[in-house]
Amino acid sequence: MSDARKPIAVIAFGGNALLRPQDHGTQEEQFTLAWKATRWLAEIIHRGYELVIVHGNGPQVGNIMIQVEEAITKIPPQTLDVCVAQTEGSIGYMLQNQLRNRLLEEQIAKPVVTVLTEVEVSREDPAFENPSKPVGPYFTAYRANQLMQEQGWLMVEDAGRGWRKVVPSPVPKRILDVEVVKHLVASGAVVIACGGGGIPVYQDVGGYFRGVEAVIDKDYSASLLAQELCADLFIILTQVPQVAENYGRPNQRWLDRLTVSKAKEMLEAHQFPPGSMGPKIRAAVQFVEKTGKEVLITDAEHLKDALARKAGTFLVPDGKED
């Protein structure tokens, strides 16, 4: 192919990059963390990529659910799809605002735009039979009982810390209006999309799209978006500098490169837990298999060096191990 477009990088990172458990969670702190994030986001632009950003929303959507719960006698509650939409707006705004300022400071003329993204899931997805993703605040057993009876919530006792709502986490099937994102990227804009994994919607029998009480894993949505955009690099930013074999054990070994076959073997061998590294590796494998391009997994501190191939773990197609 002879298209002369600039390479595209899609980056995914967790919502706790912008709202950490050790903080008070004030708005000021969140803007400061967003400002810090723009430093490493700008590194990707400096490397010559068009940039697409996918952020998580775990702590933020949890806070909105607390607000809903606390105000329940005064303001009618919103469903989870609406709460996710709210976080796409609020987190999108903070990132967009601070990235705009960063680019202004660095005299890079690029618009920054947040796309409120609906992501289609299937009603037949097995996740709807087995809601397993804990979301939102912890409740007492007493309040949990009320919520289960009055609201029909499914709730589980979470590691002695209280009761939490569990919701389905279906896989993303299609990003609605992804063509718009493509146009925006082609026009040179930095795009923030699929925030929080996207607003989950399904198509009803009449063909209409309806929001659904679920959350989509942002790593899977980001992978799908990166595939749709034919991205040249998919970056998964997390809390560890590299992926490890035998993580947390005495024989732990950090990996510079990991082939798709080896990654699949390690998935089979339960090297990557379902609630943390598992979805990242699966999302990464899907991207590499579909595009033949590479995935970089690292943390914020090592991103710059990793972009220069001096840090991080690269998930690569088979036969490209060195």
* Cα 103 to chain centroid, rounded: 23
For residue 286, the SS3 value is helix
Q: Is 15 marked active-site?
A: yes
Which residue in the list 14, 63, 92, 133 is annotated as catalytic? 133
Which range touches ligand ADP (CB under 6 A), out of 46-54, 111-119, 161-169, 270-278? 270-278
For residue 75, the SS3 value is coil
Residue 1's contacts (CB-CB under 8 Å, 6 or more residues apart) are none
Which range touches ligand ADP (CB under 6 A), out of 29-37, 76-84, 125-133, 241-249? 241-249
Total residues binding ligand ADP (CB under 6 A)? 13
The residues in 15-54 that bind ligand ADP, with binding defined as CB under 6 A, are 16
Q: Is 16 marked active-site?
A: yes
**How far apart (Å, rounded) are the C-alpha atoms in residues 270 and 272?**
5
Residue 310 backbone class (left: φ over 0; alpha: ψ -120 to 50; beta: rest): alpha
Query: What backbone phi and psi angles, to 5 degrees, belong to 201?
Result: -130, 155
Nearer to ligand ADP, 153 or 272 (CB): 272
- 267 lies in the site for ligand ADP, by CB under 6 A: no
- Cα separation values, 154 from 4, 158, 171, Å: 51, 13, 20
Which residue in the list 14, 62, 218, 312 is annotated as catalytic? 218
Nearest to 214 by CA among 196, 226, 232: 196
Q: How far is the CB of 37 from ligand ADP (least distance, A)?
A: 13
Q: How far is the CB of 201 from ligand ADP (least distance, A)?
A: 23
Q: Is 290 marked active-site?
A: no
Q: Is 133 marked active-site?
A: yes
Which range touches ligand ADP (CB under 6 A), out of 20-28, 144-152, 223-231, 268-276? 268-276
Nearer to ligand ADP, 120 or 217 (CB): 217
DSSP of 5-20: PPPEEEEEE-GGGTS-
Query: For the chain, first and last CA: distance in Å?
Result: 25
Which range touches ligand ADP (CB under 6 A), out of 60-68, 70-78, 184-192, 232-240? 232-240
Given 162, 228, 276, 304, the residue binding ligand ADP (CB under 6 A): 276
Given 221, 238, 291, 298, the residue binding ligand ADP (CB under 6 A): 238
For residue 72, the SS3 value is coil
By annotation, the residues acting in catalysis are: 15-16, 133, 218, 280
Residues interacting with ligand ADP, by CB under 6 A? 14, 16, 238-240, 243-244, 247, 271-273, 276-277
